[in-house]
Amino acid sequence: MQATSEKLTHNDLPLQLLLFVDKRPHSAEQIRQIRHYLKQLSTEYPFELTVVDVGEQPHLAEHFRLVATPTLLKIHPEPRQSLAGTNLTEQLEKCWPRWQRSAETFLAQQNLVEAGAADDRSPKSEKSSLAYSAELIQLSDEVFRLKQEKEHLQEQLQFKDRIIAMLAHDLRNPLTAASLAIETLELSQKNIDRGNSTRLNPTWMNQLLKHARLQIKAMDRMITDILQVAKGTNARFNVVPQKMDLGALCQEALDRLDEQFQLKTLTTETDIPQDLPYVYADPERVRQVIINLLDNAIKYTPTGGKIHLSILHRTTQKVQVSICDTGPGIPEDNQEKIFEDRFRLKRDEEQEGYGIGLSLCQRIVRAHYGQIWVDSGSLQGSCFHFTLPVYRS
């Protein structure tokens, strides 16, 4: 009895793609755009697309070493490739022909293996041609990867140049303020040493010391944030998650910034439930996020305004922190961009503001497989929200 084998077809082994997204409002639109584009391509070549929410399946994100969302991953056939960023459709359009060829070559190889099992008289020239095609595709993919890497490195160099410029600009104001306070105290001390009656009263001296201390703390936070962001978006954070009392950490951050609240006569309100579950997170990293968001709220809330911090046990798996202010708000068309490394609101180009701190916050939250977003309207204040995973014993 003669053995027979059925050749593999496109339907037997389609391209396998994974789309990693989060629960941010714009994620649904990104999924819709990618599905629509792939649907048009399905007439040329079938594929299998699986959408993965990193918040619901963090183990998959960790397995594929995900650093950002959205990310589109070609997991089969090899070699694995990933596309990330807000312009996934444009990147996919360039990659699709190569992905299609790699899948066709893989299927051809499988068919050749099946045919060889039934009849070991396959022409050597056909095998040679197939191997040559596979090598060409592999080289083409490697060239594409190197081009992407070159573009990324060029962007990183430009970004580091901008970081240096921003550091020089943003440090100027707190440095000048701290210097003036210290010089005034020195002058007062010289008057005392000379027996001059012109001297500052103790209340003013304490105020100047507090002011200088606040400005130095601000510079320290700024330098720390800039150095961490300057490592680049692909640098892995050394996150050490542990069982953590989020409510206590938030209260500690509020107490730490109490002097800054008093200087602007700001009212602070909190809504921190007593029965909150513990979260699984890195205390130092989360403290950075809370301090950054509170610091921004203080900067943009006018004198006599109000800042509200609340924590909500949002789902069985997530806890949400919200920090709201009564500042000028953020235009709707900029609410997603403010978390980007290279974006700054036009009104803030001549002063420190939303920018480096927020991009750092986003990277920290994402390293915990959480989400961060803002609700705001012009002249209506802003509410920044972020989520962290609940601790499971």
100 located within any domain: yes
Q: Are residues 251 and 382 located together in one domain of the fold?
A: yes
Q: How far apart are CA 48 and CA 232, in angstroms?
A: 32
3 located within any domain: no
Domain boundary (102, 121, 154) is at: 154
22 located within any domain: yes
pLDDT of residue 11: 43
Q: Phi and psi for 130 in degrees, rounded to 5?
A: -65, -45
pLDDT of residue 282: 92
Q: Are residues 382 and 343 located together in one domain of the fold?
A: yes
Q: How far apart are CA 157 and CA 298, in angstroms?
A: 32
pLDDT of residue 120: 52
Q: Are residues 198 and 286 located together in one domain of the fold?
A: no
5 located within any domain: no
pLDDT of residue 215: 80
Residues 6+ apart with CB under 8 A from 390: 277, 278, 279, 280, 313, 316, 317, 318, 319
Q: Are residues 176 and 70 located together in one domain of the fold?
A: no
326 located within any domain: yes
Q: How many domains does the chain have?
A: 3
Q: Are residues 197 and 139 located together in one domain of the fold?
A: no
Assign residue 129 the CATH number of its domain: 3.40.30.10
Domain boundary (154, 182, 201) is at: 154
Q: How far apart are CA 199 and CA 136, in angstroms?
A: 82
234 located within any domain: no
pLDDT of residue 148: 77
Assigned token pair, 106: 């893989």
Q: Are residues 381 and 256 located together in one domain of the fold?
A: yes
Domain that holds residue 42: 15-154
Q: Are residues 45 and 183 located together in one domain of the fold?
A: no
pLDDT of residue 371: 93
pLDDT digits (tens, 9 = 90+) for 69-88: 788 888 777 777 788 777 77
Is the CB of residue 59 less than 8 Å from the CB of residue 73? Answer: no
Q: Is 383 helix (H, G, I), strand (E, B) or coil?
A: strand
368 located within any domain: yes
Q: What is the DSSP string of 254-286?
A: HHHTHHHHHHTT-EEEEE--TTPPPEEE-HHHH
Q: Are residues 379 and 256 located together in one domain of the fold?
A: yes
161 located within any domain: no
Q: Are residues 251 and 326 located together in one domain of the fold?
A: yes
Is the CB of residue 35 less than 8 Å from the CB of residue 383? Answer: no
Q: Are residues 219 and 346 located together in one domain of the fold?
A: no
Is the CB of residue 370 less than 8 Å from the CB of residue 376? Answer: no
Assign residue 275 the CATH number of its domain: 3.30.565.10
Q: Are residues 225 and 246 located together in one domain of the fold?
A: no
Residues 6+ apart with CB under 8 A from 61: 20, 52, 54, 369
End-to-end CA distance of the chain: 61
Selection from 155, 33, 164, 44 nearest residue 86 by Cα: 33
- Ranges of the chain with pLDDT below 70: 1-14, 25, 41-46, 67, 110-141, 156, 159-160, 162-170, 173, 197-199, 221, 225-238, 341-356, 378-379
Selection from 372, 375, 379 nearest residue 357 by Cα: 372
Domain boundary (229, 256, 277) is at: 229
Q: Are residues 24 and 66 located together in one domain of the fold?
A: yes
Rounded to the nearest angstrom, the gap between the alpha carbon of residue 1 and the centroid of all alpha carbons in its chain is 62
